[in-house]
A and B are shown apart, each in its own frame.
Chain A
């Protein structure tokens, strides 16, 4: 069966290939109305939505049926933020209670996902019990699940019954040789199967599951972990294949590997990709399909907007004491969701009616960092930002590239030495950026940023991110600041 191709434009003549190139709302603009309807309030599937809506994961699924070299099943650390890590395992009943407590207290929470800490489909009873109860008790919450794919073909029928219209499959390779370097074993047909043989079965199951979901009309996002020297050269092909089979979004994430995590890759010294390597691969894949760049690789029990975690406010002890009137909460949520959607639609319509009138430029692209807490505007103080969104401004417009955390994954020892202050660290995080846009900034960081060759800018507080990024870009171009290459600029600095 010929599947619809969502983004089949060849590498464009403008020099900016398809994918989420161009302004961020393009990411949704080229989707069909039906898909857009499904993802427009899903923060993990729509870049636009992630500025407004929140998500949560409930940790009901501890068991796993495979081992990945980037995962350590012993891990539980409250200070860690990465997939597979949780603090409190929940029963399905506790998960439902927690979900309703969060929905009542964070009305912009639209999505409940089950993502581990093991594989949700290796815990079918706990996972489906949770979905069954939630689809009855909290019908206004979208349900989604992520999986390694091994048990997926057997679960597709059950998934479609629970009205789950988003599934994420982690596909790191389609080649068993490469798979054997990522997955040391799988549990399959009552045996532990190691090496290439196991990887081959896993790959077959993933691909079969993907095809079955697409045939059922369930939206599929594919996650891939970029592992330099292992699958980095291969992921563009993975991207092409999963797109052909009907996945609508591809999310290439950087490997997280530190020795203290106790994972195979961490202990063996396998490095993760640099921001530049990741971006290069995402750009290479985006010629083939819709890429996702706003993933925050969150914990299997994360709560809140992407990039924040409010899990501490909803521990079992705390939710036990909450008295939730879900009917009332649902009414309130509906009003708030409608207001947010109206705001998003208005913005979209405003942009369509007022296309950025860019002067004809032939200047080089510039990376800019933006401090925001959501709503698509610059509304965060430089010193309060836990992360920066990175945009690339060029004569074609502004495009969202990635986010960079200002804190390291682990607050313990790290390789940069203790003498480095938090400010110096944050400035190092912004490497490659020439401008940082924020609502306000103190005198000291201002000076240090300037010394590092990054121009702080607080003139666009509360303004739309993309419009501000382009306004600053045009200003730079007109002032002749973009006539020299970045390398020349560095040399003279």
Chain B
């Protein structure tokens, strides 16, 4: 069982030092989680540390490939509002 980081990662380094298993490493084009080392923080913390500090919605997936932080959960911006704003910008 392991979490994973996907391409929306912005390489902010926040997750790397908080991982109790040293499972996270810098890579190109973005940070990765070594699935052999990742424990999902079981035994160390109540919640996975990387997903608790990551500022980017959707960048970290759980073992079932579901985003731990879904759209809107961190910024507070309702997804439809974000889509609306982006559509307005595109229309320019």
Cβ of A429 under 8 Å from chain B: no
In the assembled complex, the CB of A149 is this many whole angstroms from the nearest CB of chain B, namely 17
B85-A259 in contact (CB<8A): yes
B89-A64 in contact (CB<8A): no
- Say whether, besides A267-B81, A267-B85, A187 and B11 are in contact (CB < 8 Å): no
In the assembled complex, the CB of A71 is this many whole angstroms from the nearest CB of chain B, namely 9
Among B74, B75, B82, chain A packs the most CB atoms within 10 A around the CB of: B75
Interface residues of A in 107-128 (CB under 8 A from B): 118, 122-123, 125-126
- Say whether, besides A260-B89, A413-B92, A192 and B11 are in contact (CB < 8 Å): no
B77-A267 in contact (CB<8A): yes
Cβ of A67 under 8 Å from chain B: yes
Within 8 Å by CB of A185, from B10, B18, B74, B81, lies B74
- Say whether, besides A187-B53, A192-B53, A268-B81, A65 and B14 are in contact (CB < 8 Å): yes
- Say whether, besides A259-B88, A264-B77, A73 and B56 are in contact (CB < 8 Å): yes
In the assembled complex, the CB of A166 is this many whole angstroms from the nearest CB of chain B, namely 25
The distance in angstroms between the C-alpha atoms of A138 and B10, with both chains bound, is 32
The distance in angstroms between the C-alpha atoms of A89 and B30, with both chains bound, is 13
Within 8 Å CB of B76, what residues of A? 69, 184, 264
When C-beta atoms are compared, the residue in chain B nearest to A61 turns out to be B13
The proximity string for B residues 13-25 relative to A, scoring 1 for CB distances below 8 Å and 0 otherwise, is 1100110000000
In the assembled complex, the CB of B48 is this many whole angstroms from the nearest CB of chain A, namely 10
- Say whether, besides A62-B12, A67-B74, A73 and B55 are in contact (CB < 8 Å): yes
A63-B75 in contact (CB<8A): no
When C-beta atoms are compared, the residue in chain A nearest to B69 turns out to be A192
- Say whether, besides A259-B88, A268-B81, A74 and B14 are in contact (CB < 8 Å): no
Within 8 Å CB of A262, what residues of B? 82, 85
When C-beta atoms are compared, the residue in chain A nearest to B82 turns out to be A267
Within 8 Å by CB of A184, from B47, B49, B75, B82, lies B75
- Say whether, besides A69-B76, A185-B74, A260-B89, A63 and B52 are in contact (CB < 8 Å): no
Tell me how many residue pairs across A and B have CB atoms closer than 8 Å. Answer: 74
The distance in angstroms between the C-alpha atoms of A262 and B86, with both chains bound, is 8
- Say whether, besides A69-B76, A413-B92, A190 and B12 are in contact (CB < 8 Å): no
The proximity string for A residues 373-412 relative to B, scoring 1 for CB distances below 8 Å and 0 otherwise, is 0000000000000000000000000000000000000001
A123-B88 in contact (CB<8A): no
The distance in angstroms between the C-alpha atoms of A67 and B10, with both chains bound, is 15
The distance in angstroms between the C-alpha atoms of A125 and B16, with both chains bound, is 12
A122-B81 in contact (CB<8A): no
B10-A74 in contact (CB<8A): yes
In the assembled complex, the CB of A22 is this many whole angstroms from the nearest CB of chain B, namely 43
Interface residues of B in 60-87 (CB under 8 A from A): 74-77, 81-82, 85
Within 8 Å CB of A126, what residues of B? 13
The proximity string for A residues 263-289 relative to B, scoring 1 for CB distances below 8 Å and 0 otherwise, is 110111000000000000000000000
**Chain B interface, >50% SS class:** loop
In the assembled complex, the CB of A468 is this many whole angstroms from the nearest CB of chain B, namely 42
Within 8 Å CB of B82, what residues of A? 262, 267
B74-A118 in contact (CB<8A): no
B49-A190 in contact (CB<8A): yes
Q: How large is the interface on B (under 10, 10 to 19, 20 to 34, 35 or more residues)?
A: 20 to 34
Within 8 Å by CB of A73, from B10, B18, B52, B92, lies B10
Interface residues of A in 229-277 (CB under 8 A from B): 259-260, 262-264, 266-268
Within 8 Å CB of A259, what residues of B? 85, 88-89
The proximity string for A residues 83-96 relative to B, scoring 1 for CB distances below 8 Å and 0 otherwise, is 00000010000000
Within 8 Å CB of B47, what residues of A? 190-192
When C-beta atoms are compared, the residue in chain A nearest to B41 turns out to be A190
Within 8 Å by CB of B75, from A67, A89, A260, A413, lies A67
In the assembled complex, the CB of B29 is this many whole angstroms from the nearest CB of chain A, namely 13
Within 8 Å CB of B18, what residues of A? 187, 190
When C-beta atoms are compared, the residue in chain B nearest to A412 turns out to be B92
A74-B56 in contact (CB<8A): yes
In the assembled complex, the CB of B8 is this many whole angstroms from the nearest CB of chain A, namely 8
The distance in angstroms between the C-alpha atoms of A413 and B88, with both chains bound, is 11
Within 8 Å CB of A122, what residues of B? 14
Within 8 Å CB of A63, what residues of B? 12-14, 17, 53
In the assembled complex, the CB of A217 is this many whole angstroms from the nearest CB of chain B, namely 30
Among A67, A123, A185, A412, chain B packs the most CB atoms within 10 A around the CB of: A185
For the complex with contacts A191-B47, A264-B76, 18 further pairs of A-B residues with Cβ separation under 8 Å are: A62-B13, A64-B55, A72-B75, A73-B10, A73-B12, A74-B56, A125-B17, A184-B74, A184-B76, A187-B53, A190-B52, A191-B52, A192-B52, A259-B88, A259-B89, A263-B75, A264-B75, A413-B89
5 pairs of residues in contact across A and B, judged by CB atoms under 8 Å: A62-B11, A65-B53, A192-B53, A262-B85, A266-B85
Shortest Cβ-Cβ A-B pairs, 9 listed: A63-B14, A73-B55, A413-B92, A187-B53, A62-B12, A192-B52, A267-B85, A259-B85, A63-B13
